[in-house]
Chain A
Amino acid sequence: MNQELKLSNADYRLLTIVWDAEPITSPDLCKLAEAQLGWKRTTTYTVLKRLCDKQLLQNENTIVTSLVGRQEVQKAESREVVNRSFDGSLPQFVASFLGNEQISDDEAEQIKQMIDGYRRRK
């Protein structure tokens, strides 16, 4: 998967629906997108086409499946955020969250466990 992913909010939301429901027929996908995103059918097809061109989804005989997993995309997205906004510095990235008190104690505990787990694996 390429480094420069550049997914729009719309792209990501449609991907999420596919990940949750694949394999799914494109008419069904339209229905889900209408219910969850308030999209017109044409909008869904436009975004679907774009994602197929980026080789993130494929649409064969009206059956839509994903070509990349959720975690892969999330990894690439977060790497991009860290690179773009925090000079590639992960501590700075985390610090910005902690500084704004935007994480709960619960979330902080989860993060701590994740980091501890990562250390143990090494």
Chain B
Amino acid sequence: MMEDLFLKILNMSITATYVLLAVLVLRLILKRAPKWISYALWSLVLFRLVCPVSMSSAFSIFGRIGKTTSSGGGLEHIPENIGMMSVPQVDIGTAGINTVINNALPAAAPAASVNPMQILVLIGAYIWLTGIALMLIYSVVSYLRLKHRMSEATLLSGNIFETDKITSPFVCGFIKPKIYLPVGLSGNERDYVLRHEQTHISRRDHIIKPLAFLVLSVHWFNPFMWLAFILMSRDLEMSCDEKVISGLDAEGKTGYSTALMQLAMKRPILAGSPLAFGESEAKGRIKNVLNYIKPPFWILIIAIVIAAAAGFALLTDPVENASKIAESEIVPLSVEEIEQYNKIFEPLIIDVQGNTVINPRSHFLTSFYDRPEDINLAECLRYFPAEKGVTDEAEFKALKEAENWPFGADMTMERMPVPIHKFSSGVVNGALLKNMGVALDDLSGVGMDELIYLKSYDAYYNFTSDFGAGSFVCTSGEKQGDIIHLYGERATLTLKKYGDSFIFVSHQKIGKQEDVNGLNGTG
């Protein structure tokens, strides 16, 4: 599902933002170390941006800041079922930020067929996809335009071309990369520039940078990732410079920085095209080149150790699994917990207005099922609060024409012995999703023949005047991971943790299979 993917990407983006902040700090610490270490650190951010799950370790930095992994694996700052939560809650940053965001999130609207939060997530997903499309179109178009502009570039030798349409050199192409130089570079200048560009190619930078841009396109909504892209590009250039000058003497270093400066004086025209890359950031780069001294071995070792340790802490997910492994063993429920569950399943509850109403969960206790899809919909809707009765003659006529109309053809609305209850598909679907994690379409069809469904009104109808809510009383129970088994005298109820609440998994009768439909009799 698109929304699920969107939420997954959002979570990955948030995780990556944490990693990015750590990388920014590390870059400061490693300022004097060779730039390739800073450059390598960006792979941590990249990993978090593309890979939802990671192995877990006790050293994970996310464990230190109280993050946990979701049941599906991966860090979860925004719950993936946020659309279904009665009170949507995220855990993005500090307590303060969380409070502000959580207060802004709309609460669930149980009467409506979709929660406002679901709509928000869906709109978000569409905006996200549109953004990706725009980014991709932009990069492809600018790449093709550049290719076209370069069609008249003239061959110098090998893969090196010269053209008067550019003022700064760049590499373009993926499989057979070409180097484009501005015309009129002096022999020395050209030599240095070529060394630089060839180093880019040998390091596969011409592939890495477009790939990084592709990832940025997916995470375009995250301003931190734009910062990451810019800084990564800078580290990429500087580490390339360092590789070039490590093979040059003092005179070569001066010559190289002069060449950089002279190119910088001409304005780069290619800043806009992400798929080919020109040179930029001349000032910082020249400083870096001139300040570059081959670092002593021990500095290098320390820098690598710091980077590797940080990398390990940033790459791994917390071992919430230490407790999770313990959890996957069967743990009996305490007396308090059993009491809590019995309270949750009381047939009548008092709502926020102080009225006694039928427990919305009771509808899932009026029939037996081994899996959510097999719930008896007729039993489920038996005492489900109806939105309204039927007062419309046309609708009544349509009901009478239904195959399983039980009251005979000459029945009139006035003479109906029992009220007609109407349930729109949207409401039923919403209740199923919220309580069972399945949609109407997922159901296997148990009990459908007892209901009347009118396509033109997209609603289900039943007829009842009595009232009897389903209930469940457990005497013992146990939990295993996020599964909860509750044992009553007549039945076993299985629940699964789902966000801040739970969904029904199965409701199974104990002993012989008698009267599978209808635990409380039918009315």
Q: Which residues of A contact B (CB under 8 A)?
A: 8-10, 13, 36-40, 42-43, 46-47, 102
Chain A nearest CB from B481 CB (Å) reads 63
- Cα–Cα distance between A10 and B183 once the two chains are bound (Å): 11
What residues of A have a CB within 8 angstroms of the CB of B151 in the complex? 39-40, 42-43, 46
Complex contacts, A39 vs chain B, CB 8 Å: 151-152, 154-155
Given contacts A8-B164, A9-B163, A9-B164, contact A37 B186 (CB under 8 A): no
Which residue of A has the minimal Cβ distance to B158?
Answer: A38
28 contacts between A and B (CB under 8 A): A8-B152, A8-B164, A8-B165, A9-B154, A9-B162, A9-B163, A9-B164, A9-B183, A10-B152, A10-B153, A10-B163, A13-B154, A37-B154, A37-B155, A38-B153, A38-B154, A38-B155, A38-B161, A39-B151, A39-B154, A39-B155, A42-B151, A43-B151, A43-B152, A46-B151, A46-B152, A47-B152, A102-B186
Is A10 a contact of B186 with CB atoms below 8 Å?
no
Give Cα distance in the complex from A9 to B165, angstroms.
9
Residues of B within 8 A of A10 (CB): 152-154, 163-164
Across the interface, which residues of A come within 8 angstroms of B152, CB to CB? 8, 10, 39, 43, 46-47
Closest to B164 in A: A9
Contacting residues, chain B, for A46 (C-beta < 8 A)? 151-152
Instruction: Scan B402-436; emit 1 where CB is below 8 A from any A CB, else 0.
Output: 00000000000000000000000000000000000
Q: Using A8-B164, A38-B161, A42-B151 as known contacts, list a sample of 6 further A-B pairs with CB atoms less than 8 Å apart, ordered by residue number in A.
A: A9-B164, A10-B154, A10-B163, A37-B154, A39-B151, A102-B186
- Contact between A36 and B155, CB atoms less than 8 A apart: yes
- CB-nearest residue of chain A to B155: A38
Q: B159: nearest residue on chain A (CB-CB)?
A: A38
Interface of B is mostly: mixed
Chain A interface main SS type: helix
Complex Cα gap A47–B164 (Å): 14
| Chain B 308-319: CB-based contact to A (< 8 A → 1; otherwise 0) | 000000000000
Bound form: Cα–Cα A10–B164 in Å: 8
By Cβ-Cβ distance, the 7 closest A-B pairs, closest first, are A38-B155, A10-B152, A9-B164, A37-B154, A43-B151, A13-B154, A9-B183
CB nearest neighbor in B for A47: B152
Closest to B165 in A: A8
- Name the distance in Å between B413's Cβ and chain A's nearest Cβ: 78
A46 and B164 alpha carbons, distance in the complex (Å): 17
Proximity string of chain B (7-50) to chain A, C-beta cutoff 8 Å, 1 when within and 0 when not: 00000000000000000000000000000000000000000000
Task: Give complex CA distance A37, B155 in Å.
Answer: 4
Give residues 157-201 of B contacting A (CB, 8 Å): 161-165, 183, 186
Rounded to whole angstroms, the CA-CA distance of A85 and B482 in the bound complex is 78
Nearest chain B CB to A8 CB, angstrom units? 6
CA distance A39 to B165 in the complex (A): 16
User: How far does the alpha carbon of A10 sit from the alpha carbon of B163 in the complex, in Å?
Assistant: 7
On chain A, the residues within 8 Å of B161 by CB distance are 38
User: Which B residues are CB-close (under 8 A) to A37?
Assistant: 154-155
- Bound-state CA distance A102–B164 (Å) is 21
CB-nearest residue of chain A to B154: A37
| A residues near B183, Cβ cutoff 8 Å | 9
- In whole angstroms, how far apart are the Cα atoms of A39 and B153 in the complex? 8
List of B residues within 8 angstroms of A42 by Cβ: 151
CA separation between A43 and B165, bound complex, in Å? 15
Shortest CB distance A60–B (Å): 24
Cα(A36)–Cα(B164), bound, Å: 17
**How far apart are the CA atoms of A47 and B152 in the complex, in Å?**
8
Counting chain B CB atoms within 10 Å of each CB, the highest count among A13, A38, A39, A47 belongs to: A38
Chain A residues near B186 (CB, 8 Å)?
102
- With a CB–CB cut-off of 8 A, which chain A residues contact B162? 9
Give CA–CA (A8, B161) in the complex, Å. 15
Chain A neighbourhood of B153, CB < 8 A: 10, 38
Smallest Cβ-Cβ distance to A40: which chain B residue: B151
| Bound Cα distance from A102 to B189, whole angstroms | 13
Complex Cα spacing A61 to B503, Å: 82
**Taking each of B151, B154, B162, which has the highest tally of chain A beta carbons within 10 Å of its own beta carbon?**
B154
Chain B residue nearest to A102 (CB atoms) is B186
Write out the residue numbers on chain A whose beta carbons fall within 8 Å of the beta carbon of B165: 8
**Complex: how many Å from CA A102 to CA B152?**
28
Distance A42 CA – B162 CA, assembled complex (angstroms): 18
A9, closest chain B residue (CB): B164
In the complex, residue of chain A having the shortest beta-carbon distance to the beta carbon of B157? A38
Chain B residues with Cβ below 8 Å from A43 are 151-152
Q: Which of B58-89 contact A (CB under 8 A)?
A: none
User: Which chain B residues border A13 with CB–CB below 8 Å?
Assistant: 154
Expressed in whole angstroms, the minimum distance between the Cβ of B180 and any Cβ of chain A is 11
In the docked arrangement, what's the CA distance between A8 and B164, Å? Answer: 7
User: How many angstroms from the CA of A27 to the CA of B161 in the assembled complex?
Assistant: 23
Give B193 Cβ to nearest chain A Cβ, in Å. 17
- Centre residue among A9, A36, A39 by max chain B CB count within 10 A: A9
Please report the C-alpha to C-alpha distance between residue A53 and residue B377 in the assembled complex, in whole angstroms.
Answer: 80
Give the CA-CA distance A36 to B157 in the complex, in Å. 9
A102 to B154, CA, bound (A): 24
Which residues of A lie under 8 Å from residue B164 when comparing CB positions? 8-10
How far is A13 from B151 in the complex, measured between Cα atoms in Å? 14
Which residue in chain B gives the minimum CB-CB distance to A36? B155
Write the nearest CB–CB distance from B60 to chain A, whole angstroms: 52
| Chain B, residue nearest A10 (CB) | B152
B250-293 CB contacts (< 8 Å) to partner A: none
